[in-house]
Chain A
Amino acid sequence: MSTELKPGGGPLGTEEVGPPENRANSAIGHVLADIGKNGIFIALIAVLVLFAILTISPQGDSILLRPQNISNLIVQNGYILILAIGMVLVIVAGHIDLSVGSVAAFVGAISGVFAVNMGMPWFVAILLSLLVGAVVGAWQGFWIAYIGIPAFIVTLAGMLIFRGLALIVLNNSNIGNFPPEYRALGNGFIELAPIELGVRSSLDLVTLAVGALAIIGLFVQQFRTRVGRAKYGQDVEPLGFFVGKLVLISIGIGLFFYSLAAAKGIPVTLIILGVLVLIYTTVANRTVFGRHIFAIGGNRHAAELSGIKTRSVDFWLFVNMGVLAAIAGIVFTARLNVAGPQAGQGFELEAISAAFIGGAAVQGGIGTIGGAIIGGFIIGVLNNGMSILGIGSDYQQTVKGLVLLLAVAFDVYSKRRSGGSR
Chain B
Amino acid sequence: MTTNILEMRNITKEFPGVKALQNVTLNVARGEVHAICGENGAGKSTLMKVLSGVYPFGTYEGDIVFENETVQLGNIRDSEAKGIVIIHQELALSPHLSIAENIFLNNEIKGRFGLIDWGKANQEAQKLLARVGLREKATTKISDIGVGKQQLVEIAKALSKEVKLLILDEPTAALNDEDSDHLLDLILSLKGQGITSIIISHKLNEIKKISDSVTVIRDGKTIETMNQEEITEDRIIKDMVGRDLEHRYPDHTPNFGEEILRVEDWTAHHPTDPTRVVVDHVNLNVRRGEIVGIAGLMGAGRTEFAMSLFGRTYGSKITGKVFKAGKEIKTRTVTEAIDNGLAYATEDRKNYGLNLIEDIKRNISMASLKKLERLGLINDGEEFTVANQYRKSMNIKAPSVLSKVGKLSGGNQQKVVLSKWIYSNPDVLILDEPTRGIDVGAKYEIYTIINRLASEGKGIIVISSELPELLGICDRIYALSEGRITGEVPIAEASPEVLIKYMTMESPR
Interface residue ranges, A against B (CB under 8 Å): 1-5, 7, 11-13, 15, 17, 19-20, 228, 231-235, 282, 285-288, 291-292, 294-295, 298-299, 301-309, 361, 365-366, 419-420, 422
Contacts and interface: CB of A to CB of B under 8 A. Distances in A.
Contacts of A228: 380-381
Contact of A232 (B311, B334, B384): B384
Contacts of A11: 441
B358 A295 contact: yes
B366 A308 contact: yes
A303 B357 CA distance: 13
Q: Is the interface of A mostly helix, strand, loop or mixed?
A: loop
Interface string B390-404: 000001011110111
A17 B369 contact: no
A299 B442 contact: no
Given A287-B376, A303-B355, A2 B17 contact: yes
B420 interface: yes
Contact of A13 (B357, B366, B420, B445): B445
A275 to B, nearest CB: 17
Contacts of A304: 313, 334
A13 to B, nearest CB: 5
Contact of B346 (A2, A286, A305): A305
A303 B403 contact: no
Interface string B12-49: 00001111000000000000000000000000000000
29 contacts: A1-B16, A1-B403, A3-B17, A4-B16, A4-B17, A12-B445, A13-B395, A17-B397, A17-B398, A228-B381, A232-B388, A234-B400, A287-B376, A288-B373, A291-B365, A291-B369, A301-B351, A302-B354, A303-B355, A303-B366, A305-B353, A306-B366, A307-B311, A307-B333, A308-B334, A309-B333, A366-B357, A420-B357, A422-B406
Nearest to A305: B352
A420 B335 contact: no
A1 B399 contact: yes
Interface of B: 16-19, 310-311, 313, 333-335, 337-338, 344, 346, 351-358, 362, 365-367, 369-370, 373, 376-378, 380-381, 384-385, 388, 395, 397-400, 402-404, 406-409, 412, 420, 441-442, 444-445, 448
Given A3-B399, A13-B441, A13-B444, A309 B335 contact: yes
A3 B377 contact: no
B399 A295 contact: no
Contacts of A3: 16-17, 397-399, 408-409, 412
Given A285-B378, A305-B353, A420-B407, 6 more contacts: A3-B412, A234-B400, A302-B355, A305-B352, A307-B333, A419-B407
A8 to B, nearest CB: 12
Contact of A422 (B356, B400, B402, B441): B356
Nearest to B337: A307
A231 B420 CA distance: 24
Nearest to A18: B399
A298 B377 CA distance: 21
A11 B247 CA distance: 12
Contacts of A419: 407
Contacts of A234: 384, 400, 402
Given A232-B385, A301-B351, A419-B407, A294 B362 contact: yes
A299 B355 contact: yes
B351 A288 contact: no
A4 B355 CA distance: 22
A305 B400 CA distance: 25
A298 B367 contact: no
A34 to B, nearest CB: 16
A420 B404 contact: yes
A314 B162 CA distance: 50
A18 to B, nearest CB: 8
A328 B64 CA distance: 62
Contact of A307 (B338, B404, B444): B338
Contacts of A235: 400
A302 B366 contact: yes
B398 A288 contact: no
A13 B311 CA distance: 34
B389 to A, nearest CB: 11
A305 B313 contact: yes
Nearest to B313: A305
Nearest to B445: A13
Nearest to A13: B445
Nearest to A19: B399
A238 B351 CA distance: 38
Given A295-B366, A303-B366, A305-B346, A286 B377 contact: yes
A215 to B, nearest CB: 24
Nearest to A3: B397
Contacts of A17: 397-399
A411 to B, nearest CB: 13
A302 B421 CA distance: 12
A242 B409 CA distance: 33
Given A232-B385, A288-B373, A307 B357 contact: no
A286 B382 CA distance: 12
A422 B310 CA distance: 28
A389 B311 CA distance: 61
Contact of A294 (B311, B335, B358, B448): B358
Residue from A15, A288, A292, A361 with most neighbouring chain B CB atoms (10 Å): A288
B403 A288 contact: no
A17 B377 CA distance: 32
A282 B358 contact: no
A288 B378 contact: yes
A286 B362 CA distance: 12
Contacts of A232: 381, 384-385, 388
B11 to A, nearest CB: 17
Contacts of A295: 355, 358, 362, 366
Contacts of B344: 305
Contacts of A282: 377
Which 3 pairs across A and B sit closest by C-beta, in order of nearness? A2-B16, A12-B441, A298-B355
Given A2-B407, A3-B409, A298-B355, A287 B397 contact: no
Nearest to A309: B335
Nearest to A298: B355
Contacts of B377: 282, 286-287
Contacts of B398: 3, 17
Nearest to B382: A232
Contacts of B395: 13
Nearest to B442: A12
A293 B337 CA distance: 21
A333 to B, nearest CB: 33
B22 to A, nearest CB: 9
Given A3-B412, A5-B17, A302-B354, A288 B397 contact: no
Nearest to A422: B406
B441 A233 contact: no
B362 A291 contact: yes
Given A3-B398, A306-B334, A291 B356 contact: no
A385 to B, nearest CB: 35
Contacts of A19: 399
Contacts of B404: 420
Contacts of B407: 1-2, 419-420
A38 B484 CA distance: 56
Contacts of A285: 378
B384 A307 contact: no
A17 B397 CA distance: 6
A273 B369 CA distance: 29
B406 A420 contact: yes
Given A287-B378, A291-B362, A299 B356 contact: yes
A419 B407 CA distance: 8
B74 to A, nearest CB: 18
B23 to A, nearest CB: 12
A20 B313 contact: no
A288 B377 CA distance: 7
Residue from A292, A294, A305 with most neighbouring chain B CB atoms (10 Å): A305
